[in-house]
Amino acid sequence: LNLEQQQFERYQSDAETLPLHFQKQTIVLTPKDIPSLPGVSVYLLHVTFNQEVNGISYVLNNGVHNVFHVLEVD
């Protein structure tokens, strides 16, 4: 995020879907690229919960359990 030049770059990792009952494991989320603009780096984590109905997975849209967390600002 470069506020002086009013520019930004956004890269994200692929989404990971985990079953409700799963074994404890390490998950590595790696972005597809690293931003090259000088300025502030903001690292975010978005967690959503899904509901399966008739074999189709739907995101719970009410937002009560979903999380959008700022991990770090550098």
Which positions of the chain have pLDDT values less than 70?
63
Q: Which amino acid is at 17?
A: T
pLDDT value for 65 = 75
pLDDT on residue 15: 84
**pLDDT for residue 54:** 93
Give Cβ neighbours of residue 28 (< 8 Å, ≥ 6 apart). Answer: none
The pLDDT, as a whole number, for residue 21 is: 77
For residues 44 and 16, is the Cβ–Cβ distance under 8 A?
no
Domain borders along the chain are 42-73
C-alpha 36/C-alpha 26 separation (Å) is: 28
